[in-house]
């Protein structure tokens, strides 16, 4: 309770006035949502735990880095424009910094420059090795915003026309899944298009991209980061690949699973071979030495084995000390050469599995 009181004490009344008057933004402000969840008695246990963790991160940032907090809290986290994108992104930076320091990295924010894009943080592992971290929290795209806005406008109109009826509706906007979509290309557009050119990196240094999905609009879970997975669908197990692994490590022309592959096969339908249209991002882009994927229940690391600079083993140890680091879901090895061998082996293994479905 004391922590909630402290949080509310640093939120000016003007903030609440602004979000209540705001008719443009179509998502709930993350701080508004945080306070509601913390104060509610009917919140799901996991949602409450996530909210309590975010509260801890905010207050710890305020305590340990007062200058950084003062510079970012009111101007970015509590801003009420641009569909709250700055707020979502800055909370992702708080979370990243907290977890890195928890893993015994020394973290220093990098001042923004007008004439040059810079990473968010300079990080030193316990040997003094420098790494540079850029944090990205994937947000809602324009198409999804318009779809939601149209839905809300329609529902509000219906409520006005039927004032005697309380109508409750839910809407789900799926940014990536969909019929006839090139999932891998869609993932690239949503996750890497802004960072693909690696402009927020330091030349000749170790650069790591942190994709934060804990504060993201995109619903990504651990099964989505595997090369392929099986899961139940209407009492039948489907085999699929979400595409993140292929987006980074895959090879052009390789077979990929469509949604509900096993279900279609089970029903006796003809197997349709889908192929990857592009090489994985890592194969031709060497600036990012790796990507950390932050999920609500684990942290996953994808090492770039084609990177121009190898991550030292001691730095990899620090990454593996991240709270809830998942080694099974990660692709990390002692050397880049060893990891390339594993990646190519997995690509070939998946091709053989497709031959089983084909027969």
The verdict on 99 and 193 lying in the same domain is no
Q: Kind and range of the H or E element at 255?
A: strand 255-256
| Number of domains forming the structure of the chain | 2
Give the span between the Cα atoms of 39 and 213, in whole angstroms.
24
**Block residue for tokens 């390339």:** 340
Kindly state whether residue 227 falls inside one of the protein's structural domains: yes
Q: Is 269 a member of any domain? A: yes
CA distance 314 to 336: 15
Q: Are 318 and 102 in contact (CB under 8 A)?
A: no
Residue 224 belongs to what domain range?
183-358
Domain boundary among 116, 146, 170: 116
- Are 104 and 192 found together in one domain? no
Residue 20 and residue 35: Cα distance in Å, rounded?
A: 14
> Which structure tokens are listed for 46?
């996991």
Picking from 74, 89, 116, the residue at the C-terminal end of a domain is 116
106 and 216 belong to one structural domain? no
* Residue ranges in the chain modelled with pLDDT below 70: 23-26, 140-181, 259-269, 271, 359
The model's pTM is: 0.88
> What confidence tens digit (pLDDT) does each residue in 106-124 have?
999 998 888 788 999 999 9
Residue 207 shares a structural domain with residue 332: yes
pLDDT value, residue 165: 46
pLDDT digits (tens, 9 = 90+) for 20-75: 887 666 678 999 999 999 999 888 999 999 999 999 999 999 999 999 999 999 99
Mark which of 91, 116, 141 sits at the end of a domain.
Answer: 116
Does a structural domain hold residue 24? yes
């Amino acid at each position: 309770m004391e922590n909630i009181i402290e949080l509310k004490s640093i939120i000016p009344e003007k903030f609440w006035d602004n979000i209540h008057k705001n008719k443009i933004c179509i998502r709930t402000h993350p701080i508004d949502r945080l306070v509601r969840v913390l104060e509610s008695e009917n919140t799901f246990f996991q949602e409450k735990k996530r909210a309590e963790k975010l509260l801890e991160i905010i207050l710890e940032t305020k305590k340990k880095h007062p200058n950084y907090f003062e510079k970012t809290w009111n101007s970015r986290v509590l801003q009420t424009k641009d569909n709250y994108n700055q707020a979502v992104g800055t909370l992702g930076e708080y979370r990243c910094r907290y977890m890195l320091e928890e893993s015994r990295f020394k973290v220093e924010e990098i001042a923004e420059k007008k004439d040059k894009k810079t990473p968010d943080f300079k990080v030193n592992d316990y040997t003094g090795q420098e790494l540079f971290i850029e944090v990205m929290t994937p947000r809602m795209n324009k198409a999804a915003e318009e779809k939601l806005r149209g839905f809300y406008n329609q529902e509000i109109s219906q409520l006005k026309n039927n004032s005697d009826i309380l109508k409750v509706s839910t809407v789900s906007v799926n940014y990536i899944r969909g019929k006839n979509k090139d999932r891998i290309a869609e993932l690239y557009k949503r996750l890497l298009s802004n960072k693909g050119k690696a402009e927020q990196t330091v030349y000749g240094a170790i650069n790591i991209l942190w994709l934060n999905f804990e504060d993201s609009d995109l619903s990504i879970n651990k099964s989505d980061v595997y090369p392929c997975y099986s899961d139940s669908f209407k009492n039948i197990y489907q085999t699929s690949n979400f595409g993140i692994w292929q987006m980074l490590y895959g090879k052009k022309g390789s077979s990929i699973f469509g949604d509900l592959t096993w279900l279609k096969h089970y029903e006796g339908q003809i197997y349709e071979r889908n192929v990857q249209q592009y090489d994985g991002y890592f194969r031709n882009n060497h600036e990012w030495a790796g990507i950390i994927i932050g999920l609500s229940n684990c942290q996953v690391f994808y090492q770039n084995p084609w990177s121009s600079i190898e991550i030292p083993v001691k730095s990899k140890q620090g990454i593996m000390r991240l709270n809830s680091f998942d080694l099974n879901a990660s692709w990390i090895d002692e050397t880049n050469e060893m990891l390339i061998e594993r990646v190519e082996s997995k690509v070939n293994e998946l091709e053989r599995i497709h031959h089983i479905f084909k027969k």
